[in-house]
Structure 1
């Protein structure tokens, strides 16, 4: 056991040292996934924009986590603003948004993922893609010509390949080796207006935290009217209900958990080879007295000696009377019967019949039948109860 314990201790220390070295040399890695999540503090999350949105919309912003199809299906709204930021909506939700715009609402869509039939109805076709590593987002409006934002990390390079004549271009993407292409448009739709921007990346934490970039964002949203604004948010980081979420969310606790599981696996692996000695089955001591009595009883039954059995039963009964009730059994007369009647509370007739059978069993010349033995045995047992 001591040797096994030492092996486990050495393995545990080695594992701990390896984990410590890995932790010391570990480099912090950033998550560059374009998640557009309002709770994400990663470079391409919307945590900063979510915190600034309240002031940007003058406290008239309402964030909705329901799909537009569910939200508008349950209530009727007056004309308002609608904001969509890179949200994968179903076609029915897009149609609900177009219905709201037709009735006087304005929609600002910052996304490059719009269903084709919806984009066609708005007034543009599939967007072009540029693979340039850097570009600049600018406005075409003169009052905003000095406001721009430079995208130097993973720009999508999206732009409109074809725009219908009734669509107004508000912004463009400028690249060194490519022609400018429109990325921000405006079009009337029924009683309302639709704005589409194909590069929502400028709203992410990475770009909003850079000096001067906030102005570009303010200019984009300045096209919306000063009224209630509904933002259908994308929230991929809802709180997990997994019971281990707190442990796994903390690096130190997470490593401790994995070390514990690793140690448990090693313990099971090494102990699986151990074999326990066979435990001998110890038979309990048998009560031979009962077997002996049964054997003697069977012997008497086989021999058919009922007279001897009555004599022995009578002897046992009288001995019991002497020991338990302190009654002299030498003379089994009326006085004996009366004393036994008083001590046991049994009827005098039963006692008299039992005495007669006892005398018969003690008489060596009496003719004893099996029925006499059975009757005497029943009476004596009844008296001793």
Structure 2
């Protein structure tokens, strides 16, 4: 039997080792989370964008809220660049950015959606464009300026995209458009998704396609031409402030476990250590644990003591004293169990006692008749004492439903 048990253990260990080996060699899943963080190399990070920007523009990475940054650096000039899945500003923050743009600077925001306050200020409205029921969605993006390339770039990772459906034509310059694949029954309808507006002495550029600045988009085919066309509207000689505060992903990780869980080898070393510790606890702990002694609880000797005293009274012929105590304990039982006074034992008391104790009125009269008789009698016999005890026990049994 022992040998057979070791065979089962060996099979289990080999099975676990095989599972771990398969998991270790399994291809790492692609993280498609839209983080837009500058140092993330995942598909929807912006590592490539920031690397290119630092080569072409004088770039400063900003890790604090825009309001705080502009208050500390009130005299700075250039372009404030925001890119994220959704960029939401506080009211004071938005006002500070608009005032900064009004003084001759450029505010560039790439986001799926924009705040209502900003849209009202620029007299814009936005809506969504959904794919035409195709199994493989595809949207086409192109720049309006022919000098930047007229080729449309396709993107097949979204089931919908947003665009500006209403705009102030006197103040707005259209920079980019988006449209979906048209079928034979209808013509292509192009929608505005990148605009530029003059704002005071400066300008504001809005793009509703932030994924154009992600690693996946820039590195795929010739998509970089589209992204470069959008960046061409920035001043090459002007300072560019890259926002790192309004991001969906974490810019840095505070947990020390991130190093282990983000590195494949260290992650599996950590898991193996946990599994080994668990196996050690199960097998070694079970084998070395001392036996817990069984402690016999103390017996309740109250009943035995009571029986001893009762036998002593009975053998010494103290039937009168036993009867007196028996009656006194019975009356105390009625007072505590049935909550009835026993000072007056009249007909009303007997009827109430019969109702509360589940006994018949005849049995109650017979019991208390015997009690009245024995309370006034001297020289009680064993038969009378046994009869009294039998009737009292029968009375209690009916109270307990027996």
* TM-score in same-fold range (> 0.5): yes
Shift in Å at residue 88 of structure 1?
3.3
The 1:37–1:164 alpha-carbon spacing in structure 2 relative to 1, beyond 3 Å, is same
- For 1:51 and 1:193, the matched residues in 2 are separated by 25
Residue 257 of structure 1 aligns to a residue whose secondary structure is helix
The 1:56–1:207 alpha-carbon spacing in structure 2 relative to 1, beyond 3 Å, is same
The 5 Å alignment of 1:139-178 reads 139-154=143-158, 156-165=160-169, 166-177=171-182
Shift in Å at residue 169 of structure 1?
1.4
Residue 147 of structure 2 aligns to a residue whose secondary structure is helix
Task: Confirm or deny that 1:255 pairs with 2:265.
Answer: no
Residue 50 of structure 1 aligns to a residue whose secondary structure is helix
Task: Confirm or deny that 1:218 pairs with 2:223.
Answer: no
- For 1:167 and 1:76, the matched residues in 2 are separated by 28
The 5 Å alignment of 1:227-306 reads 227-234=238-245, 236-270=249-283, 273=286, 275-277=289-291
Shift in Å at residue 160 of structure 1?
0.8
**Contact 2:38-2:244 within 8 A present in 1 as well:** yes
Cα deviation code 1:203-245 (max 9, x no counterpart): 1111211343222222212222331121212563444343333
- Partner residue, 1:367: none
Cα deviation code 1:251-273 (max 9, x no counterpart): 22212221221232233334565
**Contact 2:37-2:251 within 8 A present in 1 as well:** no
Task: Confirm or deny that 1:98 pairs with 2:98.
Answer: yes
Shift in Å at residue 5 of structure 1?
8.7
The 5 Å alignment of 1:68-79 reads 68-79=66-77
- Partner residue, 1:348: none
Cα deviation code 1:171-201 (max 9, x no counterpart): 1002223521000111111221111111011
Cα deviation code 1:92-119 (max 9, x no counterpart): 3222211101111111111123211112
**Contact 1:148-1:213 within 8 A present in 2 as well:** no
More displaced 10-residue stretch of structure 1: 184-193 or 6-15: 6-15
Q: Cα RMSD between the aligned structures?
A: 2.8
- Partner residue, 1:34: 34
Cα deviation code 1:52-92 (max 9, x no counterpart): 111232xx221211110110122212432121112634323
Cα deviation code 1:113-133 (max 9, x no counterpart): 321111221221133232361
More displaced 10-residue stretch of structure 1: 100-109 or 224-233: 224-233
- Partner residue, 1:20: 21
The 1:214–1:90 alpha-carbon spacing in structure 2 relative to 1, beyond 3 Å, is same
- For 1:110 and 1:67, the matched residues in 2 are separated by 17
- For 2:97 and 2:36, the matched residues in 1 are separated by 20
- Greater Rg over alpha carbons, structure: 1
Residue 166 of structure 2 aligns to a residue whose secondary structure is coil
- Partner residue, 1:88: 87
- For 2:198 and 2:35, the matched residues in 1 are separated by 30
- For 1:155 and 1:200, the matched residues in 2 are separated by 15
* Structure 2 unaligned blocks of 5 or more: 183-187, 294-402
Shift in Å at residue 45 of structure 1?
1.3
Cα deviation code 1:340-362 (max 9, x no counterpart): xxxxxxxxxxxxxxxxxxxxxxx
The 1:278–1:42 alpha-carbon spacing in structure 2 relative to 1, beyond 3 Å, is closer
**Contact 2:194-2:205 within 8 A present in 1 as well:** yes
User: What is the TM-score when the length of structure 2 is the normalising length?
Assistant: 0.61
Shift in Å at residue 9 of structure 1?
6.3
The 1:145–1:122 alpha-carbon spacing in structure 2 relative to 1, beyond 3 Å, is same
* Structure 1 unaligned blocks of 5 or more: 280-385
